[in-house]
Structure 1
Amino acid sequence: MDKFNHPDLGKALMQSRSGLRDNHRRSLARFLFWVTGLSLMVFAVLQLFSGHPWVSAAEVIVGSLSFLGVARINHTLHFERWVYGYLLTLFSFFIAIMLLPDASTAAFVWVLMMPVLAYLLLGRREGMMLSVPFMLLGCVVYFFYLAGLAELSRADFVIDFLNMVLCSSLMQVFIYMYEARREEAEQRLIEVAQTDTLTGLANRGNFQSTLTRTIAESERSNTAFALVMMDIDHFKIVNDTLGHEAGDFVLQEIGKCLRDRLRTTDFVGRLGGEEFGLILRDVSPTAAYELIEELRQRIAVRELSYGGTGIKVTASFGMAQWPEDGRQADSLFSVADQHLYRVKRAGRNQVASSFAGLST
């Protein structure tokens, strides 16, 4: 059966790629474009007076593109392309500045900024893939830069180079580890937010979001599915006679039964109390009815053992079929609920749908 990945949260997590959500990444990128554009214009003037007109011209071009990014980044549908274009250009520019014959030692500090920007804007995997080659290239350039300084002794050369290598490596490792731990923690929070703690099934919010996603997928592929509402019959009697712990045990066992019987493409959640919801994907009305009827029988004949006491329960089911019973979630819930109510009035432990009468 489906992992209970909340589709909305899952999409947000995928879009975030880092600790920042998509809108926050766009805000950060816009700020970086502003800073980059203004800084490059200032440096362009300084480079011109320093006798590097080609560097000045390059900085003016890149700065102008940065200001264009300020105007476009919040609305573009190709945000990732803008980010890659920005980072590749910026990192290449860092390397070019380091290659200048009279480059300042301070220019090599920008090597340490590469993983910070890459991980924030691209996330752990892509951030590492982009930043590591540029950091290695920066270290190589720094090696030859130090080798060209005649005033440096061999000991000073080794010390300065190892400082750069060590700082670069630690920066990469620390940020990678932070991102890995953050992703794990965020995934655990998402699982907690979308899971019913008692049964381990999807909770109501997760189930409703999955239903919405299933409707959208069915609209695109024109494949039918069934929504099923299920109630454990006379569940209050279990709580009143054996206690709430026994009731919790029954809910957990019913949850396991649902998980074990349904197909890998199906989805099940606890909607609250003794009510469960099922989504049977890519199934005809007849096949859905037969599957649920078999599940009803399986629950009815099963005896649960709790503290030496045998507990037998039954369940009632109301079904709605997409698109015959409705194309929207509210319509499907309403039809399934009406059939469930009809089952309860008729004596419970039955299945009802628009395509079949009550069965016992």
Structure 2
Amino acid sequence: MNTSNHSDLGATLEESRSGLHDSHRRSLMRLLFTVTGSALVVFAGLQILNGFWWVAAGELTASAILYLGVWRLRSTAHLQQWIYAYLVTLFFFFLVIMVLPEASVAAFVWVLMMPVLAYLLLGKHEGMILSVPFMLAGGVIYYFYLGSIDNPHAMIDLLNMVLCGALMLAFIHMYEMRREEAEQRLVNMAQTDALTGLANRSNFQETLNRTIAECERSGAGFALVIMDIDHFKLVNDTLGHDAGDHVLKHIGQCLTERLRITDFVGRLGGEEFGLILRDVKSTDAFDLMDELRQRIADCQLSYGEAKVRVTASFGIAQWPEHGRQAETLFRVADRCLFSGKRAGRNQVARAGGGINPNQGDLLTGSAC
């Protein structure tokens, strides 16, 4: 069975923080550093002409740091810290140019850029936490900039700024919420079997690899089980594929109802299912699967006027006794499953304790 590595979409989504993945955020930050650093050089020249030498010195220093950051952002492991340092410094800079004695009213438009940059680079929660205080500070500064607001013209100017800022923040927040929901739905679709609602093959393999890594650290064990419905083709051939789908949904429900919350189940394809049983010994895994086998065999399904009974066979491999890699465990479990099929089906087969599983020496549970 092919167990090639797949990207863990759930983990990738969790780590992305925003609509941009880390690689894209890194590229965007390098672009922003370049543009901002170049713009600060120009502004520094203008500040010198205006007589604000201290502002020009600060802008030139910041520009040098930004150019250094363009190089550092290629490989730094502290991308989030660089983003926070950039945004906090930039937002403070926006406030500074607003309070300058000869500040232009155009300087206040930068307040509206705060939520755009914060949400884009930090995501919904952190973006809101960072942008809201700076936007409020910008609004307060604009209030004092207007001076007296006892006339309609000044009141209109203030309300325009407040309403525009509030709407900008609300729209961006709403957009980010909808984007997260849409991305989560796409991830769920990519990781879920549409028929049974179980994890699909790719998701199961990702979970198996992750389980192995966790058990390597903790020293705990687990069992990998491969389950196959016996004579499933006969159901499709005699009753049709709709009946087969009905059986698969029923099996999926049986598996999810019987297993513990720490266990994991997925549909590997066709009539084959995979199970990961955490923190179980070989004998306990065997007993649990034999009980599940009996439960499936005892259940009679109704499909129209027909009564359908199916059985299932199970192959069990134990980590780390029968292999430490996913490929090895799949191979052992498949060999056990084949042995159970060959022994008459409706069987639970596991690699024998202390015996090399690759030699095919197995213990099987008899059908009841």
Please report the TM-score for the alignment, with normalisation by the length of structure 1: 0.95
Which residue identity lines up with residue 45 of structure 1 in the other structure? Answer: G
- C-alpha separation between the residues in 1 aligned to 2:85 and 2:283? 54
Residue in 2 that maps onto 1:84:
84
* Structure 1 counterpart SS, 2:8: helix
* Structure 2 counterpart SS, 1:317: strand
Residue in 2 that maps onto 1:359:
365
Residue in 2 that maps onto 1:311:
308
User: Structure 2 regions of 5+ residues with no counterpart?
Assistant: 1-5, 353-361
Are residues 1:202 and 2:199 paired? yes
* Structure 2 counterpart SS, 1:313: coil
Which residue identity lines up with residue 205 of structure 1 in the other structure? Answer: S
Q: Shift of the alpha carbon at 1:309? A: 2.2
Deviations 1:161-201 (A, max 9, x none): 11111110111011001000011011111111111111111
* Structure 1 counterpart SS, 2:321: coil
Are residues 1:101 and 2:101 paired? yes
- C-alpha separation between the residues in 2 aligned to 1:251 and 1:15? 34
Q: Shift of the alpha carbon at 1:289? A: 1.2
Which residue identity lines up with residue 316 of structure 1 in the other structure? Answer: S
Residue in 2 that maps onto 1:139:
139
Which residue identity lines up with residue 213 of structure 1 in the other structure? Answer: R
Q: Relative CO higher for 1 or 2, CA cutoff 8 Å, sep ≥ 6? A: 1
Residue in 2 that maps onto 1:258:
255
Q: Shift of the alpha carbon at 1:15? A: 2.0
Residue in 2 that maps onto 1:73:
73
Q: Shift of the alpha carbon at 1:7? A: 7.4
Are residues 1:214 and 2:220 paired? no
Are residues 1:168 and 2:165 paired? yes
User: Contact 1:232–1:274 at 8 Å: present in 2 too?
Assistant: yes
From 216, 227, 252, the equivalent of 1:230 is: 227
User: Contact 1:7–1:213 at 8 Å: present in 2 too?
Assistant: no
- C-alpha separation between the residues in 2 aligned to 1:171 and 1:110? 12
Q: Which moved more, 1:91-100 or 1:59-68?
A: 59-68
- C-alpha separation between the residues in 2 aligned to 1:205 and 1:274? 16
Deviations 1:95-135 (A, max 9, x none): 01111111111111100000000000000111011001100
Count of residue pairs the alignment pairs up: 352
After TM superposition, where is structure 1 displaced by more than 3 Å over at least 4 residues in a row?
none
Residue in 1 that maps onto 2:272:
275
Q: Shift of the alpha carbon at 1:241? A: 1.3
Q: Shift of the alpha carbon at 1:64? A: 1.5
Are residues 1:290 and 2:287 paired? yes
Residue in 2 that maps onto 1:338:
335
Deviations 1:66-85 (A, max 9, x none): 11211111211111111011
User: Structure 1 regions of 5+ residues with no counterpart?
Assistant: 1-5
Residue in 1 that maps onto 2:153:
156
- C-alpha separation between the residues in 2 aligned to 1:128 and 1:58? 28
Which residue identity lines up with residue 196 of structure 2 in the other structure? Answer: T
Please report the TM-score for the alignment, with normalisation by the length of structure 2: 0.93
- C-alpha separation between the residues in 2 aligned to 1:76 and 1:193? 31
Which residue identity lines up with residue 318 of structure 2 in the other structure? Answer: Q
Which residue identity lines up with residue 324 of structure 1 in the other structure? Answer: E
User: Contact 1:83–1:121 at 8 Å: present in 2 too?
Assistant: yes
Residue in 2 that maps onto 1:118:
118
Which residue identity lines up with residue 303 of structure 1 in the other structure? Answer: Q
User: Contact 1:318–1:340 at 8 Å: present in 2 too?
Assistant: yes
Which residue identity lines up with residue 358 of structure 1 in the other structure? Answer: T
From 339, 346, 349, the equivalent of 1:349 is: 346
- C-alpha separation between the residues in 1 aligned to 2:105 and 2:118? 23
Residue in 2 that maps onto 1:51:
51
- C-alpha separation between the residues in 2 aligned to 1:323 and 1:277? 18
- C-alpha separation between the residues in 1 aligned to 2:260 and 2:12? 27
Are residues 1:326 and 2:332 paired? no
User: Contact 1:73–1:79 at 8 Å: present in 2 too?
Assistant: yes
- C-alpha separation between the residues in 2 aligned to 1:284 and 1:68? 55
* Structure 2 counterpart SS, 1:231: strand
- C-alpha separation between the residues in 1 aligned to 2:302 and 2:70? 66
Q: Shift of the alpha carbon at 1:308? A: 3.1
Are residues 1:185 and 2:182 paired? yes
- C-alpha separation between the residues in 1 aligned to 2:74 and 2:199? 34
Q: Shift of the alpha carbon at 1:298? A: 0.9
Which residue identity lines up with residue 342 of structure 2 in the other structure? Answer: R
Residue in 2 that maps onto 1:3:
none
Deviations 1:2-36 (A, max 9, x none): xxxx9711121122222211111111111011111
- C-alpha separation between the residues in 2 aligned to 1:160 and 1:19? 33
